[in-house]
Amino acid sequence: MIAHWQGNGGLVAATALGLVLLLALPQVVDPVMMIELTSYVIMAILALSLGLIWGYGGILCFGQSAFFGIGAYAYAIAVINFGDSTIPLLLSIIVPGLFAALLGYFLFYARITDVYFGVITLTVTLILYKVMGATSGSQYVIGTAAIGGYNGIPAVPPLNFPGRPDAALSFDGLFYLSGLTLLAIYVGLRLMLKSRFGQVVVAIRENERRAELLGYDARFYKLATFTIGGAIAGLAGCLFANWGMFISPDVFGLAQSAQVIIWVIVGGTGTLLGPIVGCFAIQWIATKLGAQQVLNANLVLGTILIGFVLLVPKGVVPTIGDAFRRLKFRPYVAPLVEQRRVP
Amino acid sequence: MDLLVVLSFEALKAVASLALISVGLSIIFGMMRVINLAHGEFLMLGGYAAIVATKAGINIWVATLLISPIVVGVIGVVIERTIIRFLYGRPRDTMLATWGLSLLLVGLATTVFGNTTEGISAPAGSLQIGDYRIAAYSLIIIVIAVAVFAAIWAVFRFTRYGLIARSTMQNADMAAALGVNPSRVYAVTFGVGAGLAGLAGGVMAPITGIVPTIGAAYVAKAFITVIGGGPAILAGTVSASVMFGAIDQIITYLSTPVIGEVALLAAAVVLLRFMPQGITGRFFRRAA
């Protein structure tokens, strides 16, 4: 799609730029902004997970925050019990991955349409919100961790060096860890999408029936993509629980689910850079909105979502990419076949 | 014996409320293939319309049964003309746009009404069954649900609009060739669906109270019902409401309401695994 970026040169350049930003930002940005910035980076990982399954897998998941929240809860509950954070970190990836696999099995193998898929995933998230909210009281305890209903789990212990619970991660450390994770997942996904597996996933997005007639089981590939996306979202949830040292059912709320969708649609589906850019932009706007009282944040986010669906359905990054290419590489020629867009 | 009567009455009420809050969504989805994620917010607006009207001194029955559906129906037509009509044939984009609409309406309601629960007291008192008392309003909900479904059936079956709407639903191009204006049919149908959502919101307002975010409490149930029901609007909504309402009520009685909703969702997911087209995709295929 963006051919001149998909050479390995582009990937190396993007990685180098990411590393430079990662090292330089803490030197030039003030500490309060660093706290905000760390949360943006963590949310960008979540955005990337949806960017994979929606933009490349063609799977319209409205409940990506479900896996994010499950990852966060899995980490919080396990780390309170174990003390050492190594196994909890792994659990925060495995548990949401398994949950995604189970849900995906029922939905993909039933071959329900993508519209139903969106609704069911949204419903799952809303019901998780209620379930986790209903767990206040002393009977809802897993090991030594009280789940706490709508009050959430406070004082979640931070990540530590594997095997040494006393060597806890500092806040700067969390920024570096989150940034490296984002970079690693970005590079990993780029490589995965170039692999045979990734090519099949994209082929299924482009034309599911044709891919099946060529012998690929679309259900399996979709399930695999969905599971990978769920696991990545869970890892982001683990980092988020570290960031706030707190986790509550709000991660399953309608607003959180909508935000992930907005990041991806604003940044652009079908790219990996788009969701990250969209996430940073919208988060920054949301921070600014939170600081004033005139306009309700939901009002603005809703307007942005409607506006982008109606006016800029491809998202910012692909739109800029198209304009750039038209300008630079060749005179604009109307394409013979309308390019298939992933909405 | 009395307990049995009370329990079946409660189950009937659960089925009726489920059918009532789903039918507007079902009509918009069944006729127009539009998944309206702002459905819960239409219910919320219906509730506010009823509360504002009642507080202004209007009779509560007029407020819930007339003003709520009319206000939300008009809002629905406006939304169809300004947003939805640009997105026909693009179900994914429609879902995203209506989700944006849902956020926008929540934000708007929060700005106007504030983030507090408002309520009106339920009219009618209670009924005595043996040693138990039940709210008479529950009986009224059942009556309203039956009346609404009978009315929808009659409109689709016997009126000119019903004929035109059903034909447009089957084949919009052919209907247009025969002189029907599909664009207008869609606008009216969306308005009717929104109006029914408004009616449900108004009727439920005395029981639940209304906050700007109450839509989220309704949408999950409404979507499960509509998807589980499948393509036939009335038969689908009724059969899914009976099945899910019964499951919800039984599990709720045995444990807690939250577990009841989880059971509802699990039942729907498992159902879809074996009947991807919903209940009426498998059975009663010829039903309306």
- Contact of B216 with chain A, judged by CB distance below 8 Å, is answered with yes
Higher pLDDT, A328 or A195: A195
CA proximity to B236, closest of B36, B9, B26: B26
| Smallest CA–CA distance from B35 into chain A, residue | A115
The reported pLDDT for the residue numbered A28 is: 84
Q: Is the pLDDT of residue A2 over 50?
A: no
Query: Average pLDDT, stretch A190-208?
Result: 93
Query: What confidence score (pLDDT) does residue B217 get?
Result: 79
Give how far B46 is from chain A: nearest CA, Å: 19
Give yes or no for residue B257 having a pLDDT over 90: no
Looking at residue A258, its pLDDT comes to 86
Q: What is the ipTM of this complex?
A: 0.83
Angstroms from B48 CA to nearest CA on chain A: 18
The average pLDDT across B229-253 equals: 84
Chain A nearest CA to B162, separation (Å): 26
Give tens-digit pLDDT for B89-130.
888 888 889 999 999 999 999 989 888 888 787 777 777 777
Chain A, residues 29-88, CB within 8 A of chain B, namely 60, 62
Contact A133, A225 (CB under 8 A): no
Q: Given a cut of 90, is residue B150 above it in pLDDT?
A: yes
Contact B275, A112 (CB under 8 A): no
Q: Considering only residues 228 to 257 of chain A, which have any Cβ-Cβ distance to chain B shorter than 8 Å?
A: 253-255
**pLDDT classification of A222: cutoffs 50, 70, 90:** very high
| pLDDT-derived band at A16, boundaries 50, 70, 90 | confident
A340 Ramachandran zone, left/alpha/beta (phi>0; psi -120 to 50): beta
List chain A residues with CB under 8 Å of B28.
Answer: none
State how far residue B207 is from chain A, nearest Cα, in angstroms.
Answer: 19
B228: pLDDT confidence band, cut at 50, 70 and 90? confident
Give how far A86 is from chain B: nearest CA, Å: 32
Query: For chain B, what percent of residues have pLDDT higher than 70?
Result: 97
Pick the residue of A150, A296, A308 with the most B CBs within 10 A to test the interface with B by mutation: A296
Which residues in chain A have their CB less than 8 angstroms from residue B230's CB? Answer: none
Question: pTM value?
Answer: 0.84
Q: Which residue of A lies nearest to B256 if distances are taken between CA atoms?
A: A134
Secondary-structure breakdown of chain B: helix, strand, coil percentages, each rounded to the nearest 5: 80, 5, 20
Q: For residue B79, with 0-12 CB atoms within 10 Å meaning exposed, 13-18 middle and 19 or more buried, which class applies?
A: buried
Chain A (174-203) residues lying within 8 Å, Cβ to Cβ, of chain B: none
The CA distances from residue B150 to A49, B140, B144, B146, in Å, are 47, 15, 10, 6
Residues 85 to 144 of B: which have CB under 8 A from any A CB? 86-87, 90-93, 95-97, 99-108, 110-111
All residues of chain B having their beta carbon less than 8 Å from the beta carbon of residue A120 are 227, 268-269, 272
Q: Give Cβ neighbours of residue A101 (< 8 Å, ≥ 6 apart).
A: A223, A226, A227, A230
Give the nearest partner residue to B110 out of A103, A296, A307, using CB atoms: A296
- Please answer yes or no on whether B104 and A304 come within 8 Å at the CB atom: no
For the record, the structure tokens of A91 come out as 């659990």
Instruction: Specify the higher pLDDT residue, A297 or A103.
Output: A103
- Which helix (H) or strand (E) segment holds residue A138: the answer is none
The reply to whether A127 touches chain B by the CB within 8 Å rule is yes
pLDDT at A197 over 70: yes
Residues A287-337 pLDDT 10s: 887 777 667 788 888 999 999 988 888 888 888 888 877 776 655 555 555
Q: How far is A25 from chain B (nearest CA, A)?
A: 33
